[in-house]
Chains A and B, each alone.
Chain A
Amino acid sequence: MTHEQIRQMVRKANPVPDPYAYQSLATSVLTEEQERMHMQTDGRVEVVPEPPTKSRRGVLLGLATAGVVLLVGLVFLLGNDTAEQATPIVTPKPVPETDTPVRIGPGAYFIDVDGVESTSLGGTFVIEGQGWNGVTAGATYPDADSYVSLLVASLDALPDHTCHDTQFGPPGATAQAQAERFAAIPEYIVHQAPEPVTAYGYSGYHVLLEVGDEGWVPGSDLGEFTGCDAGNFHGWGSPTFGRAMAAPGQKLELWFLDVGTTPIMVEASWFQDTTDLGMDQLEAVRESLVITP
C-alpha cells in the first residue's frame, strides 16, 4: 500500500470535507455587534467579567438557601460554644453553566439537575476554601496530577458499553434500577455492588466503582481514551451534562437516591494517588451537600 493510497483513505474519512458547508453554524460572538462592544478601542481585547448569572430560579432557589442556612447554623450551634462569632449568611449561587471547569470561590452553590427553572430539584453544596472549580453538574478540585470532584445529576442516559460500539439508553426509573444498570456497564471494576443506603435524607443505593483500562494508552492526558470510540470512556448523561471518565483507576462512589419520583445521583470521584488534602476537600464538600426535591 503506497503512502498516496493511505492519504486518499484519510482524505475520504475527513469529517468536514467542505468547510463552506458549515458557515451557517456557530454564529460566533465575534459577528455580533453586541459582542464587538467588548473590544477596546486600543486594539486589546477587554477582559469582560462574566455577567452575574441570572437568578433564574427565584423563590425556589430561596428554599435551597434556607436549607443551607439552616445546615450552617446547626453546625455553628453544635460546634461553637462561645457563640460570639456571627453566623454567616450563605446565599447559594448557581454553579457556572459550563463543561470546562472555571474557578469558583468560597460560598454555597446550587446544582440545577434538570435544567428546569420552575423546579428546585437539585443539590446545594458549600465550599469553604480556595482552589475549587465549578461545572454545570458540580465542582472539581485539582489534586496531584488529577482531581477530585463532586457531581450531582438526574440521569437521562447510560451507555451500554463505556468504550466500544456505545449506545445510550434510558437509565432506569428508580434509584435501584439505575444503580444496578450503572454497576453492570462493562469496563468498570465493581468494588461494591449496589447496597441499600439512606443518604442526604433519602433512601437509595450505594455503589463503588473503578474505571477500567480499556482503550487507555499509558501517558495520555486525562480523558483521552484514544483506543475507545470517539476517544471517550463514556460515563453518563443528564439533561444538563455529559460525563466522560478521566483515567483508569478513577474511583466513583455513587449514591442513587429516590428524591420524590425522580432518582438523583451523587457522584464523588477521586484517584488512586489522591492526596489526603484532596480527600479532605472532597469529604468536606460532600458532607455539605443538601438535596432539594
Chain B
Amino acid sequence: MRKTRNADRDPRFEEMWDKCRPLVLAYCMRRTSAHDAEDACSETFLVAWRRLDDVPDQPRTILYLYGIAGKVLSNQKRSVHRRTRLDERLSRLGVTQPIDPGVLVVQNTEDEVVMSAVRRLQPKDREIIMLDAWEELSRHDIAEVMGMTRSAVDQRIHRAYKRLARSLEPMIEIHPTNSPPVAEQGGT
C-alpha cells in the first residue's frame, strides 16, 4: 500500500520539482545570497514534500511554493544574526573573487540606487513590489501568495510605488527619462 501511495506521490513531486525549481531558486536568489538561496529552495521543497497532499495543482503550484519560500527565508533571517559567507559577499560586491553565476549582480549604478530604495521599503511592501516586478505575478496572485485581500495588495502597491518615486526623484532629476514626471493622485 505504501509503495502504491508513493508511486503516486513521486511523479507528482518530480513534476513539481522539474517545473517549479528554477522559479523557486530564482525567487530565493532575488532575496538572499546564493548559498542561502540554495538552502531555502531545498527547504521549500522539503516542506512541499511533507504537505504534498495540500499542494494545489498547476498553475497554482508555484504560488503555493512562493508562499513557503517566503516563510523559509523569513526564518533564515530570524536566526541569531545574518551572516554570509565571505566569498559570496566579496563576489556580490564585485571584489577579487572568481565570478559565481549565482551572484546577485547589480548591473549599474542606477540599478543599485533602485535596489537600495526597494530595500528601504517596509518588508511587506518590499515583498509585494518584488512579486509584482520580478516574479511578474498578477495582483490576484500576489494576494494569494501574501495571504491578503486583493484591495490590500492594491493599496500597498500604490503606496510602495509612491514611496519609491519619492526616493528615486533625485536620480530621475539627474538622469531624466523621456517621459515627463506625472503627479501621483490619491494614495494612503
Please give, as numbers and ranges, the residues of chain A lying within 8 Å of B106 by CB-CB distance. Answer: 13, 15
User: Are A22 and B29 neighbours in the complex by a CB distance under 8 Å?
Assistant: yes
User: Are B42 and A30 neighbours in the complex by a CB distance under 8 Å?
Assistant: yes
- B35-61 CB contact bits vs A (8 Å, 1 = yes)? 101100110011001101100000000
- A15-26 CB contact bits vs B (8 Å, 1 = yes)? 110111111111
Q: How far is the CB of A154 from chain B (nearest CB, A)?
A: 12
Q: Does A12 contact B (CB under 8 A)?
A: yes
A237 to B184, CA, bound (A): 45
Please give, as numbers and ranges, the residues of chain A lying within 8 Å of B81 by CB-CB distance. Answer: 147, 222-223, 244-247
Q: Does A249 contact B (CB under 8 A)?
A: no
Please give, as numbers and ranges, the residues of chain A lying within 8 Å of B107 by CB-CB distance. Answer: 12-13
Known A28-B45, A142-B80; contact A43-B37, beta-carbon cutoff 8 A: no
User: Are A28 and B30 neighbours in the complex by a CB distance under 8 Å?
Assistant: no
Known A13-B114, A101-B80; contact A25-B161, beta-carbon cutoff 8 A: no
User: Are B22 and A19 neighbours in the complex by a CB distance under 8 Å?
Assistant: yes
User: Are B90 and A157 neighbours in the complex by a CB distance under 8 Å?
Assistant: yes
Please give, as numbers and ranges, the residues of chain B lying within 8 Å of A142 by CB-CB distance. Answer: 80
A43 to B25, CA, bound (A): 23
Q: How far is the CB of A153 from chain B (nearest CB, A)?
A: 11
User: Are B45 and A30 neighbours in the complex by a CB distance under 8 Å?
Assistant: yes
Known A5-B179, A157-B86, A242-B84; contact A15-B118, beta-carbon cutoff 8 A: no
Known A13-B118, A22-B22, A221-B77; contact A42-B2, beta-carbon cutoff 8 A: yes
Q: Does B124 contact A (CB under 8 A)?
A: no
Q: Does A167 contact B (CB under 8 A)?
A: yes
B55-98 contacts to A (CB < 8 Å): 76-90, 92-93, 95-96
Q: Does B174 contact A (CB under 8 A)?
A: no
Q: Which residue of B lies closest to A230 (CB)?
A: B92
Q: Does B150 contact A (CB under 8 A)?
A: no
A221 to B168, CA, bound (A): 25
Q: Does A231 contact B (CB under 8 A)?
A: yes
Q: Which residue of A lies closest to B13 (CB)?
A: A30
- A22-56 CB contact bits vs B (8 Å, 1 = yes)? 11111011110000000101111100000000000
B1-25 contacts to A (CB < 8 Å): 2-3, 5-6, 9, 17, 21-23, 25
User: Are B120 and A15 neighbours in the complex by a CB distance under 8 Å?
Assistant: no
Size of the chain B interface, CB-CB below 8 angstroms: 79
Please give, as numbers and ranges, the residues of chain B lying within 8 Å of A222 by CB-CB distance. Answer: 80-82
Q: Does A178 contact B (CB under 8 A)?
A: no
Please give, as numbers and ranges, the residues of chain B lying within 8 Å of A45 by CB-CB distance. Answer: 46, 49-50
A241-284 contacts to B (CB < 8 Å): 241-247
User: Are B82 and A167 neighbours in the complex by a CB distance under 8 Å?
Assistant: no
Q: Does B143 contact A (CB under 8 A)?
A: no
Q: How far is the CB of B140 from chain A (nearest CB, A)?
A: 17
Partner of A242, one of B5, B86, B164: B86
A214 to B130, CA, bound (A): 26
Q: Which residue of B lies closest to A7 (CB)?
A: B133
- B97-127 CB contact bits vs A (8 Å, 1 = yes)? 0000110111100111011101110000000
User: Are A227 and B120 neighbours in the complex by a CB distance under 8 Å?
Assistant: yes
A84 to B117, CA, bound (A): 66
Known A15-B30, A222-B80, A237-B89; contact A1-B181, beta-carbon cutoff 8 A: yes
A21 to B76, CA, bound (A): 25
Q: Does A117 contact B (CB under 8 A)?
A: no
A28 to B25, CA, bound (A): 10
Q: Which 6 A-B pairs have the closest CB atoms?
A: A19-B26, A242-B86, A223-B82, A237-B86, A26-B38, A223-B81
Q: List 27 A-B contacts (CB under 8 A).
A: A1-B169, A3-B158, A3-B165, A6-B164, A10-B164, A13-B107, A13-B110, A13-B111, A14-B30, A19-B22, A22-B25, A25-B38, A25-B102, A26-B37, A26-B41, A42-B5, A43-B9, A43-B52, A101-B79, A221-B77, A221-B82, A229-B93, A230-B89, A230-B93, A242-B83, A242-B85, A246-B80
Measured CB to CB, the residues of B under 8 A from A are 2-3, 5-6, 9, 17, 21-23, 25-26, 29-30, 34-35, 37-38, 41-42, 45-46, 49-50, 52-53, 76-90, 92-93, 95-96, 101-102, 104-107, 110-112, 114-116, 118-120, 129-130, 132-134, 136, 157-158, 161-162, 164-165, 168-169, 172, 177, 179, 181-182, 184
Beyond known contacts A25-B25, A237-B89: 10 more, CB 8 A cutoff: A1-B168, A1-B177, A12-B107, A14-B30, A16-B29, A26-B41, A26-B42, A43-B50, A147-B80, A244-B82
